[in-house]
Amino acid sequence: MTGGRRGACALRHKTMGGVRTAPLWRLTLPLGLGLPDTAGERELAGRRGRHVPAAAAGASPGLHLGDTELGRELRQQQEPAAALVLEALSGKPTEEQKMPEVPGLKPANPPVLPAPQKADASPASSKVLPQRPRKHFRRGPPHLQIRAPNTDSKAGMQDEAKEQAAAPGDVLQDENTQRTVISWRGAVIEPEQGTGLPLRREEAPTKPSLLVTRMQKEAGLPNERQKGVIEAFRHAWKGYRQFAWGHDELRPVSRSFSEWFGLGLTLIDALDTMWILGLKQEFREARTWVSEKLDFKKDVDVNLFESTIRILGGLLSTYHLSGDRLFLRKAEDFGNRLMPAFMTPSKIPYSDVNIGTGVAHPPQWTSDSTVSEVTSIQLEFRELSRLTGVRKFQEAAEEVTRHVHNLSGKKDGLVPMFINTHSGSFTHLGVFTLGARADSYYEYLLKQWIQGGKKETQLLEDYLAAIEGIKTHLMRRSEPRKLTFIGELAHGRFNAKMDHLVCFLPGTLALGVHHGLSADHMELAQALMETCYQMNRQMETGLSPEIVHFNLYPPADDLDVKVKPADRHNLLRPETVESLFYLYRTTGDRKYQDWGWEILQSFNKYTRVPSGGYSSINNVQSPNKPEPRDKMESFFLGETLKYLYLLFSDDPNLLSLDTYVFNTEAHPLPIWAPA
């Protein structure tokens, strides 16, 4: 979804493209007036509610990188790491300093970082079966090499030398300054009971376990539908590589690019997708760019939420899958530069931070932050602390979670959309939605509980309360098909409007059932999945609009949904195929694969640009004139195509739901386990 989910309008915070100019935002939601009713009114809203100006808005089949030249190269990069420096939390960061090394970590993998065991755990059948709760075979993805490199290499040392040379003066030696620094020499620190940070080390094996090796040998070739996803990715990557290399987003129609942060968002967002799809050459080229060109020491404002889920999440995920320390070094550097955002009176972070100057600030129009943005960074910051041993990341993010848990202004577990960074209180009370500005709050309650080994009962309680609140206040059925949908509530008045972003919910519900929650949640998940499919199917292009309104009374045209002119665009969003992936994994019903295949064919027919890339379109109701918007969101490669590839796989252990939890940008992070 992922959470989040993004785009240039009412996006699950997923959009923001174009060249960034100041001021970026204009408030479109007057106090007390409820939710914007159309995507046109939300054209200033970012992917999950952030405000942006409207105007800005060949590898061989079966390739497994662990057994390839690229995999061998990456395994040879285990030289001692130069210590990264902690950025100061004040407005002006201190100079980075080179510190002595101490034992650190290798990336997590199932044998070292297993999912929580259950008493009735049993090996999976040799047949292709869906994953089901309490019957889990604890093992990692057979298609992926997930061990860290085991030997020192000149290549890795050269990478570090290049990084330091590229930014002279960034690293100064100061023997008198004491800091917590982590090196990566083959030691693994595992978490204590609950979510406490790891305090003990365990020596990692000197080579991949026999289980991981066997899984790699057993991995099969991609099937025909997966090959279709690989072909689509290569076509999209062709356009990005040729016309937008190193820039944030491709503009495929004009064969140019747009910048948001100037940090290569599409490239970073797509790193783990390339690894999962086995695209050796593309991954190697992208890694070289990260090593030689990606520099976070630049005077640019970034959105805390969007940069966390895309950049930090993407780097952490790629580190875990590849074992390449380059990505962890980059992740820690970037995480340090985000920390000034938390320096507010309430500890509720500002929406924006300058990663070069360390100055954080709210939008121009308000001191509020978006609830979904401040509560959808926890998976990434918690994992960064677990890997580095630096507590501040996890502590800052979890303080936000605790604060929101204790706030008044909720309605049976539902939360408002905005929170004030000075007072720490909810604002715009009485307005509740599962669309932009609130969606991934609910997603991350469940996923943090899963990530931490199902020990944080407060998170689970908040999630379960919210689901009951959704059923009570936001769930209705349409006419004539009786489709179950999730609307919005503003000051007691129900609006039968549903963002495409809300289609993350069936997948989240199914994930909860997979991890032992009530079977009633699966019934709701399946009903909502049908609705999200119909949001696509009832459109002439087979692609869902950004927003639909459901008929509560029998309509004249026999359709359950109606679309306003300002809402009929499609941003290549992942939410529907994301939930299809979860529903197929948890039920084994192949109709979900078929629905996903239909959507991929629609993307190919109406959004594919011949010269390379895919473009968002303005009109899903006009197959003859869909009107390309000349924008390929980074999440199309980072989420949409990744979820389609996983959906079409019949191997439940390819990124097993018992081993990984996906952040809201579809970047898989390991599930923790007790020490």
Q: Tell me the catalytic residues.
A: 306, 439, 546, 575
| Contacts for 369 with CB less than 8 Å, ≥ 6 apart | 348, 349, 350, 351, 362, 418, 419, 420, 421
CA 361 to chain CA centroid, Å, is 24
Please give the structure tokens belonging to residue 365. Answer: 């129009």
| Contacts for 93 with CB less than 8 Å, ≥ 6 apart | 87, 336, 337, 340, 357, 358
Dist CA 504 CA 506 (whole Å): 6
Q: Are strands 360-361 and 493-495 parallel, antiparallel or unpaired?
A: unpaired
CA distances from 230 to 282, 404, 644 (A): 12, 41, 10
CA distances from 143 to 140, 456, 524 (A): 9, 31, 32
Alpha helices, DSSP H, located in 55-136: 69-75
CA 496 to chain CA centroid, Å, is 28
Sign of CA dihedral 441, 31, 427, 305: positive
The total number of residues shown for the chain amounts to 675
CB 74 within 8 A of CB 322: yes
Please give the structure tokens belonging to residue 225. Answer: 């539908």
Other beta carbons less than 10 A from residue 66's beta carbon: 25
3-state helix, strand, coil in the chain (%, to 5): 40, 10, 50
CB 79 within 8 A of CB 636: no
SS3 628: strand
The conformational region for residue 655 under phi > 0 = left, psi -120 to 50 = alpha, else beta, is left
The Cα diameter of the chain in Å comes to 78
Dist CA 241 CA 282 (whole Å): 9
CB 295 within 8 A of CB 263: no
β partners of residue 495: 488
| Contacts for 224 with CB less than 8 Å, ≥ 6 apart | none
Please give the structure tokens belonging to residue 160. Answer: 């570090």
**Bond from prior residue into 198 cis (ω within 30 degrees of 0):** no
CB 475 within 8 A of CB 485: yes
Q: What secondary structure does DSSP assign to 323-353, as a single string?
A: --HHHHHHHHHHHHHHGGGG-STTSPPPSEE
Please give the structure tokens belonging to residue 111. Answer: 């044998």
If you ran DSSP here, which 8-state letter would residue 419 be given? E
CB 573 within 8 A of CB 14: yes
Rg (CA), the chain: 23
Q: Which of 156, 140, 139, 188 is nearest to 75 (CA)?
A: 156
Please give the structure tokens belonging to residue 604. Answer: 């190919």
Dist CA 23 CA 46 (whole Å): 14
Q: What is the 3-state secondary structure (H, E, C) of 441-504?
A: HHHHHHHHHHHCCCCCHHHHHHHHHHHHHHHHHCEEECCCCCCEEECEEECCEEECEEEHHHHH
